[in-house]
Amino acid sequence: MQDLRVEQAEHLLRTTGLPLAAVARRVGYESPGPCGPSSSAARARARAALRPAGPG
């Protein structure tokens, strides 16, 4: 079940502009803790890595 949540979270991070906390709630977690590292800098790097690059 947790693997499915993580896959859903990865999909939402790649395809939406939702913040990590909102994605965590949508896939059934109360907080983003289970979805990624605890530091905000690490979470920002993880979000950037999962999102498609913009035009540039």
Domain count, the chain: 1
Instruction: With respect to residue 56, please indicate whether it lies within any of the assigned structural domains.
Output: no
* pLDDT for the residue numbered 5: 85
- Asked, for residue 14, whether it belongs to a domain, the answer is yes
Distance of alpha carbon 53 from alpha carbon 15, whole angstroms: 11
Domain residues for the domain of 19 are 2-50
C-alpha span between 18 and 54 (Å, rounded):
16
Does 19 reside within a domain? yes
pLDDT of residue 33: 64
* pLDDT < 50 stretches in the chain: 37
pLDDT the model gives residue 4:
86
Question: Is the residue at 43 inside a domain?
Answer: yes
Structure tokens at 28: 């059934």
